[in-house]
Structure formats: C-alpha cells, structure tokens
Amino acid sequence: MSFQNPVFIPGPTNIPESLRKACDMPTIDHRSPLFGQILHPARAGVRKVLKSDSAEVFIFPSTGTGGWETALTNTLSAGDKVLAARNGMFSHRWIDMCQRHGLNVEIVETPWGQGLPADRYEEILTADTNHEIKAVLATHNETATGVKSDIAAVRKALNAAGHPALLFVDGVSSIASMDFRFDEWGVDVAVTGSQKGFMLPAGLAVVGFSQKAMEATKNGTLPRTFFDVHDMAKGYANSAYPYTPAVGLMNGLNQACDMLLKEGLENVFARHTRIAEGVRAAVGAWGLELCAANPAVYSDTVSAIRTPDGFNATDIVTHAAEKYGVAFGVGLGEVAGKVFRIGHLGSLTDVMALSGIATAEMCMVDLGLNIQLGSGVAAAQEYYRGHPAAVQKDAA
C-alpha cells in the first residue's frame, strides 16, 4: 500500500486534509459547555444533509452496523414481522441481524444486480391486512453490487397498500453522496456511518428517526442499552452524552456537513454522478459489464465490474495492492471472485478517478485480460472533457 495514493474502495473513503485536522483535537471535557458547540451543529448539519426538517439525529460511537441495530432495537419487539429484500451482501447482513434479534423476516429474494422490488413489496403489504409487518427494510445503495434502489417507490408501495409499517433505510453508502430525501420519502429511520459520504474515519453511526419512529420506541421491547435513543436524547437535552462521545470525530462530522453544504448537496450529487459516468464509460470501453442490471439501478458511489468467466476478479484487487499500492474492493458473497469494485464516493475528483481507472487497466493487462491499455482512460477522459467539473476558485 502507498499512503500517497487515493483508495478506490467504497468505504472507508479518502479523508480531506481539513477533516483530518478537524478530527485531531486536544482532549476536551465532554461535560463542559464546549461539547455542546460540537454536538448541536453536527446534529443540525446531518439533518440538513438528510433533507429533513424534523428528524431526530443520533450520533453513536459505532459504525453503520450499529446504526442498523439502533433502528431495530429501539422500535421493534421479539417476534415482530419485518419485510426485507435480499439483493446483496449488505441487505443480507441486515436481515441476519434481524434474525439474530428474534425478528421474523419475510425475505424477498432478489437477483444480485437488481434493485429492491417495490411492486413485490406492495403486493405483500397489501396482503398483510392485519398489519403484522412492523417495518420495511430498504438498502438504498447495495454496496456489494453497485445497485441503487428507488426509495420513493418503496414509500409509494407502503402508501398504496395503506400500510402503517415503519420504513427503515440503509443509506450507509448513499447519504451525503447520492440524492437522499428523508422527509419527502417518508423515511422513518435512516442509517449511515462516518466513513463513507462524510469522508471521515470509521467510528460513528449516524441515524435519523422520524417522529413516527420515536413514537414506536415506546412500544418496542427489544433489549437496548448502548443504542438506546432515549438515553441519548436525554443527554442531548443537556448538551451531554450518556457515555463518552467520540469528540474528535463529531467535530469532523460538523465540519464535513459544512463542507458538503457549502459545495451544495445538489452539486455533491452531480459530482458523484459525473465521476461515476466516467468510470462507467471506462468499463464499457474495456468491453466489460457492470453487475448492476440496467442504467436505472447504476450506483453513483460504487461500480461492481464483472470479469470474464474463469477469471478470478479478486486477483485484480490483490495485484493492485501488491504491485501498485492501490486499493480496490473485492466481490462479496454471491459475487465473490466474479466482480471487483471501484469505489467512487466521498472526496474525489475526475483526476483522481482517472488514476484509479488507469491502475485497474494496468492490473487487468498484467493479468492477461484482453484489454487495451489506455482504452478506459480515454473513454473517461472524453466524458470528463465534455462534462467539466466546477473548479474551486477561492482559497477557502
């Protein structure tokens, strides 16, 4: 590995220098008023990034996985029914967590490479006339396959069925990189972490609860201690925490939100789309295909690229690390060995993306794939030439 090179894994992502500095703080007393000056703006910043006016934002020393657990344990009871589609490793792991907590998961098996089947959700919800399903799980961006799903369509399915279930959305690899609309989509719990779109080190679970989800916490009886949102809310009311907060990371989160909002969320999303389009142009020029089944589900934060049958895609990742000191993502679960992943989210420019595309190309040629050196780079260059980035003009 070389610390000079950017990483091209879909999280943790590259950390901008200003955010590294923001995380590097002297110790403060988290029971002093100083802490409130970090806590409150960080929560308000996250709320804006979620596009919500009303979400209760909770920040735990944890990761996205802890955010999943926060959603489940605060609102549900053992034996409760939840509805979830399995279309990749991350949706699979969230389902596994539900089962380990004694929840009864109705699983909609969905081919890896496809998005969540909102129409199937609607059928199942419509048939559930007794409203036994208490929550619907939706992975907005399946990081294992590079597939985005239509959360508005899942909300529509709930509404069409007139079903009161809560809508839990895993936005770990979409929030702060791809369009996410907490209020408009009627999301009840949104989950993310610090190390993807927020461009920080791993170490925070960032969660938004709707008022309806807060109501549900009164009935849910699953055991919860560390992730109890009421303990957290009680702490926040006094600018405090129920235990020791990760102060440096929270300071980083505050700054990350400022950075994203200063760029403008729509500009952040457009940048991710543009960079992703360049990567996809390269994939096309290589004659390879994405795991994602069609353009409607292409993820703007990660591309999972299929390699020819008989070739072990993981070799690309190993080779890139050993020979060039560059990190790509391996295939996970069902697509292990069949795809490699280029993460293109967070702090990234066209120029950085081009270096990743060039490296992937060198690896594939080294390993004997029939790919023309420079072909993917040229295709991405053409795209970026035609769709120039907004270049920063001020020094701030």
Ligand X SMILES: *Cc1c(COP(=O)(O)O)cnc(C)c1O
Chain residues 43-72 in contact with ligand X, contact rule CB under 6 A: 63-65
CB of 235 vs ligand X, minimal distance in Å? 22
- Beta-carbon neighbour count of residue 183 at 10 Å? 15
State yes or no: residue 11 binds ligand X (CB under 6 A): yes
- Judged by beta carbon, residue 194 or residue 255, the one nearer ligand X is 194
Quick check: 185 and 164 in contact, CB under 8 A?
no
- Judged by beta carbon, residue 74 or residue 194, the one nearer ligand X is 194
Sign, CA torsion 115/342/358/259:
positive
191 — alpha (psi -120 to 50), left (phi > 0) or beta?
beta
- Judged by beta carbon, residue 90 or residue 340, the one nearer ligand X is 90
**Residues 200, 14: Cα–Cα separation, whole Å:** 8
The bridge status of strand 329-330 relative to strand 302-306 is unpaired
The bridge status of strand 133-139 relative to strand 81-86 is parallel
Among 13, 70, 74, 173, binds ligand X (CB under 6 A): 173
CB of 61 vs ligand X, minimal distance in Å? 12
Element (H, E) at 234: helix 229-237
CB of 101 vs ligand X, minimal distance in Å? 16
**Residues 41, 37: Cα–Cα separation, whole Å:** 7
- Which DSSP state fits 392? P
Among 59, 97, 172, 327, binds ligand X (CB under 6 A): 172
Q: Tell me, residue by residue from 336 to 355, as one string, x for binding to ligand X by CB under 6 A and - for no binding.
A: --------------------
CB of 323 vs ligand X, minimal distance in Å? 26
- Give the contacts of 218 (CB within 8 A, at least 6 positions apart): none
Q: Tell me the residue number closest to ligand X, measured at CB.
A: 64
Q: Total number of residues binding ligand X (CB under 6 A)?
A: 13
Q: Tell me, residue by residue from 227 to 266, as one string, x for binding to ligand X by CB under 6 A and - for no binding.
A: ----------------------------------------
Written as one letter, the residue type at 212 is K
State yes or no: residue 177 binds ligand X (CB under 6 A): no
Which single residue is written with the structure tokens 């809560």?
A: 166
Dihedral of the alpha carbons of 224, 229, 234, 238, in degrees to the nearest 10 = 130
CB of 168 vs ligand X, minimal distance in Å? 12
CB of 40 vs ligand X, minimal distance in Å? 24
User: Cα-atom radius of gyration of the chain, to the nearest Å?
Assistant: 21
- Judged by beta carbon, residue 45 or residue 329, the one nearer ligand X is 329
- Judged by beta carbon, residue 302 or residue 358, the one nearer ligand X is 302
Quick check: 147 and 85 in contact, CB under 8 A?
no
- Beta-carbon neighbour count of residue 156 at 10 Å? 16
CB of 381 vs ligand X, minimal distance in Å? 29
Chain residues 204-223 in contact with ligand X, contact rule CB under 6 A: none
- Judged by beta carbon, residue 193 or residue 346, the one nearer ligand X is 193
Helix and strand element counts for the chain (H, E) = 13, 13
CB of 172 vs ligand X, minimal distance in Å? 4
Quick check: 86 and 107 in contact, CB under 8 A?
yes
CB of 11 vs ligand X, minimal distance in Å? 5
Among 6, 146, 193, 208, binds ligand X (CB under 6 A): 193
- Judged by beta carbon, residue 195 or residue 307, the one nearer ligand X is 195
Please, what is the angle between helix 151-160 and helix 118-127, to 10°? 20
- Beta-carbon neighbour count of residue 368 at 10 Å? 9
State yes or no: residue 170 binds ligand X (CB under 6 A): yes
Q: Tell me, residue by residue from 104 to 143, as one string, x for binding to ligand X by CB under 6 A and - for no binding.
A: -----------------------------------x-x-x
CB of 237 vs ligand X, minimal distance in Å? 27
- Write out the residues near ligand X by the rule CB under 6 A: 11, 63-65, 90, 139, 141, 143, 170, 172-173, 193, 202
